[in-house]
Amino acid sequence: MTEAFEDVGDVVRRFDAEDYLLDFGTASALYLAAALRRPLLLEGEPGVGKTTAAKALATVLGAPLIRLQCYEGLTANEALYDWNYQRQLLTIRLAESRGDGLTEDDLFTEEFLLERPILHCVRYRGPTPPVLLIDEIDRADDEFEALLLEFLGEASVTVPELGTFTAEHHPVVVLTSNRSRDLHDALRRRCLYHWIDYPEPVRAAAIVRRTVPAAAAPLIEHATRFVGRARELDLDKPPGIAETIDWVSALAALGVADLVRDDAIQSLSALAKTPDDRTIVQDAFADYAHGLATG
């Protein structure tokens, strides 16, 4: 199997071609994950682009993206594999009608095996190993992490009735976490790690410019600067780059070319996501817009 990327610069260039502007640290982490075939744990505040980075990685590699969205109560039957119980029941009834005998071994074969995202990733036999996105692992229960350890360490899944399935070529695995809870050391030890921070103002403006090309340059500059200041406020949910893009898109849809217009305040629902945050952001925005108008 050939190397996925020539070097870190190649990662930056190929992501740039997909309109995803990488910082050097994130590009290095993605390069190592692809080169070493080690799982990569991406952490950061909500909205900084962790999930989008995994999606873009699959695109630039020309690989299929397999996604496992985590949530509280997620089980092995939903993430690794399950058995087709309806088909097993029909097989039992058919055998009974014919007077045939069945054993447990007859019912637990690959014919009745249902692949869930992780086993599907292990058994994938396409020309390019897939990218597996295990999204928001911190939303799953603590016990679920233990189910992942064999896969993360060995790219394999054991089905007690059939044995162990191991990937022919290690997939690229990206886990994301918003740090809503601490992850176990056993999981962290099996992964490379990178923290994605909020982009600095210049790169934030460049990202928004790529994503919302219809927005005027002064609007993008002033909006990204204001969002940077808003993150320093006592907010329940500080806005990330995703909220910044949503806000500038809303402003552009309203025909706002800069934040000095009075109707710009109507768009703050795209930026502040709780009533308390909206009050705080609205007051800060009024002061900021006044400063722009008088400065």
pLDDT in tens, 15-26: 999 999 999 999
d(CA 44, CA 283): 27
Residues 62 and 124 grouped into a single domain: yes
Predicted TM-score of the model (pTM)? 0.90
What is the tens place of the pLDDT at every residue in 44-94?
A: 999 999 999 999 999 999 999 999 999 999 999 999 999 999 999 999 999
Tell me whether residue 271 is in a domain. Answer: yes
Helix axes 217-230, 201-211, angle to 10 degrees: 130
Tell me whether residue 96 is in a domain. Answer: no
Tell me whether residue 93 is in a domain. Answer: no
What is the tens place of the pLDDT at every residue in 115-146?
A: 999 999 999 998 899 999 999 999 999 899 99
Neighbours of 139 (CB within 10 A): 17
Residues 38 and 183 grouped into a single domain: yes
Domain of residue 272: give its range.
Answer: 199-292
Residues 68 and 151 grouped into a single domain: yes
Question: Which domain-ending residue is among 139, 171, 194?
Answer: 194
229: Cβ–Cβ under 8 A, 6 or more apart, which residues? 284, 288
Q: Is residue 159 within a helix (H) or strand (E), and if so which, with residue range?
A: strand 156-159
Q: Is residue 290 within a helix (H) or strand (E), and if so which, with residue range?
A: helix 275-294
pLDDT given for residue 1 in this prediction? 47
Judge whether residue 96 has pLDDT over 60: yes
